[in-house]
Amino acid sequence: MAYRWKTDLTERDVTPEGAWLTRRGLMAGIAGAGIATLAGRGRAAEALEPNTWEEITTYNNFYEFGTDKTDPARHAGAMTIAPWSVRIDGLVDRPADYALEDILSRMTIEERIYRFRCVEAWSRVVPWNGFELADLLEMAGVQSGARYVAFETYLNRDEMPGVRFPVLDWPYVEGLRLDEAMHPLTIMATGIYGRDLPKQNGAPLRLVVPWKYGFKSIKSVVRITLTAEQPPTSWNKANPREYGFYSNVNPEVDHPRWSQATERRIGAGLFARREPTQMFNGYAEEVAGLYEGMDLTKFY
């Protein structure tokens, strides 16, 4: 398939040969969905190691299952993910409850190896499988008045022990400007390493916006609404001074309580040096244009 967008890293940069071969085998075995392996135009100077399946699936934020990093892996197993449907509504031509199987039968699943940067200043590299959000939105038919996209996570009080606590106003909600949502780097992830997305990572379908802090990448999405007005977002509602609507990764705009200049790479080891955080998490070439003329200290 034609390569359209640089993802920073090539398969070979980030994947040990053995895992690569295994993964190819796994991916070849996935029925129905056409998987196109996306070989990014890598930056030769960078030789980043992949994060392991273990590192990606046992240290998570999914507050519906508790606020400890190990809670999602321990508790998310209780979440019902089949049958699953996504309501797409608001300013669209074809509002409906779309069954996940119907969505997947119409989408092209690709692999996207993306950096992932949490606002808490840890990071990793994840080989996602997924499709472009733009393709899903086009399926529903975006109307001309739409300017934003609102997302909502599944909520079930019996299955989610964390929602007994008012850490956030449940359900978890997020939002993007329409041009951010339509950007080719923005994907809906369905897998990691060619395997189904684990529940703790937001099965069966979660947003991934690689140039924004991790909390924008909302998990286990059940509703997508096209709106004219900027939608409310969970972390912004909880603490508007600390978490803005945009939440673009920016080493020059610190969190009020900590620096965002550097990050701790998961799996790097206890004595590893912190790495410098990159503007837009390394995707400036692709996305800086979306924010031309905006004061990023004001629109944080």
Ligand X SMILES: Nc1nc2c(c(=O)[nH]1)N[C@H]1C(S)=C(S)[C@@H](COP(=O)(O)O)O[C@H]1N2
Alpha-carbon distance 300 to 254, whole Å? Answer: 10
CB of residue 94 to ligand X, shortest distance in Å: 26
Sorted by sequence, the CB contacts under 8 Å of residue 290 that are 6+ apart come out as: 177, 179, 180, 183
Count interface residues toward ligand X (CB under 6 A): 15
Q: Which stretch binds ligand X (CB under 6 A): 18-26, 45-53, 59-67, 223-231?
A: 59-67
SS3 for 33? Answer: coil
- Give the residue closest to ligand X by C-beta: 214
Cα–Cα distances (Å) from 276 to 243, 250, 273, in that order, read 21, 11, 9
By the 10 Å C-beta count (0-12 exposed, 13-18 middle, 19+ buried), 258 is classed as exposed
Of 172, 193, 245, 291, the one binding ligand X (CB under 6 A) is 172
Contact call for residue 118 and Mo ion (CB under 5 A):
yes
CB of residue 118 to Mo ion, shortest distance in Å: 3
Contact call for residue 118 and ligand X (CB under 6 A):
yes
CB 203 within 8 A of CB 81: yes
Which of ligand X, Mo ion, none has residue 63 at its interface (CB below 5 to 8 Å by kind)? ligand X
Q: Which stretch binds ligand X (CB under 6 A): 106-114, 209-217, 251-259, 267-275?
A: 209-217
Please report, as residue ranges, which positions from 177 to 216 form the binding site for Mo ion (by CB under 5 A).
214-215
Contact call for residue 60 and ligand X (CB under 6 A):
yes
Which of Mo ion, ligand X, none has residue 277 at its interface (CB below 5 to 8 Å by kind)? none
Contact call for residue 201 and ligand X (CB under 6 A):
yes
CB of residue 189 to Mo ion, shortest distance in Å: 15
Name which of 62 and 148 has its Cβ closer to ligand X. 62
CB of residue 44 to ligand X, shortest distance in Å: 27
Sorted by sequence, the CB contacts under 8 Å of residue 37 that are 6+ apart come out as: 11, 24, 27, 110, 111
Cα–Cα distances (Å) from 237 to 167, 209, 242, 259, in that order, read 11, 20, 10, 22
- Within 10 A of 297 (CB to CB), how many other CB atoms are there? 9
Name which of 172 and 291 has its Cβ closer to ligand X. 172
The answer to whether 217 is a known ligand-binding residue is yes
SS3 for 22? Answer: helix
CB 159 within 8 A of CB 240: no
Judging by DSSP bridges, how do beta strands 85-90 and 221-227 pair with one another? parallel
What is the binding site for ligand X (CB under 6 A)?
A: 60-64, 118, 153, 172, 201-202, 214-215, 217-219
Binding residues for Mo-molybdopterin: 60, 63-64, 118, 153, 201, 206, 217-219
Interface residues with Mo ion (CB under 5 A)? 61, 118, 214-215
